[in-house]
Amino acid sequence: MCIAAFIWQAHPLYPLLLLQNRDEYHQRPTKPVAWWDDGEILGGRDEVAGGTWLACSRNGRVAFLTNVLELHTLPEAKSRGDLPVLFLESAKSPMEFAKELVTEAHQYNGFNLILADMSSKTMVYVSNRPKGEPIAIQEVSPGLHVLSNAKLDSPWHKAQRLGLNFKELLCKYGEGDIPVKEMLEKLMKDSAKAEESRLPGICSLDWEYNLSSVFVEVDTPLGRYGTRSTAALTIAAYGEVSFYEKYLEKDMWKEKTVKYYLQKLK
């Protein structure tokens, strides 16, 4: 279902520091982080639907998403993984893209989408849930945020736990360089589950319980499901982008880092 924690425009060295776990069936064909064919988009890729859950571009645009936990989904819905790609391929500002998405947001199953542009220092959150309510669009304020499978900064067990631990580590590291790999190991492998009273009560208790940790691992009738990649995306104030991913490939954990400099800095 994915979870992300990030600090936006609130650290002296990193205008953006993002950590994300991607949860998916282990057998679903996926490409690890790499430059796409156009040479402009960097991210992992879902080989079934062709989209992504987290990607960035050479000119300083970033997009990532999580699914909204819901009991019923539409099998004929458009792929949510297309949304980050559409934004990164467009020239629209985060807010312009979000507002234009309103007319077709109902064609997707529940999603939370974050759109950012480093040059204009703008970040926008979009969600098409709860059903029946207007599409949620809001500018993301500077600071620390957590996005799980409800609205941005919803007080779910895993989100609160990750947010508190993230904040503690940031305080420990201070205003200097952040050891990102160490941070990932300490934060994103957390398998502590929620008590039953803290589950949202949307799906079956067993399923919600298994999804209630930051790091997810569960066997299902459709195969093993859970965290199959952990990523850290940092954008430094001087323009260096570092995209680190630790990912499962044929039941083996591998890692890869791609670095580059932003084309445009204003």
Between the CA of residue 34 and those of 25, 90, 203, 257, 260, what are the distances in Å? 21, 20, 35, 9, 12
* Cβ-based burial of 108 (10 A; exposed 0-12, middle 13-18, buried ≥19): buried
Are the CB atoms for 31 and 81 separated by under 8 Å? no
Please give the Cα distance from 190 to 235 (Å, whole number).
25
Residue 162, classed as helix, strand or coil, is: helix
Sign of CA dihedral 88, 90, 95, 99: negative
Divide the 266 residues of the chain into consecutive groups of 10 and give the mean pLDDT of each group: 95 98 97 96 96 97 97 93 98 98 96 98 97 94 97 96 98 94 97 96 95 97 97 97 96 96 72
Please give the Cα distance from 230 to 95 (Å, whole number).
28
Total-model pTM: 0.96
- For the domain made up of 3-256, give the CATH fold: Penicillin V Acylase; Chain A (3.60.60)
Please give the Cα distance from 234 to 113 (Å, whole number).
18
Q: What is the pLDDT of residue 265?
A: 52
Are the CB atoms for 105 and 74 separated by under 8 Å? no
Sign of CA dihedral 89, 119, 140, 240: positive
- Residues 91-146 pLDDT 10s: 999 999 999 999 999 999 999 999 999 999 999 999 999 988 999 999 999 999 99
Q: Where are the domains of the chain?
A: 3-256
| Cα of 225 vs its chain's centroid, Å | 17
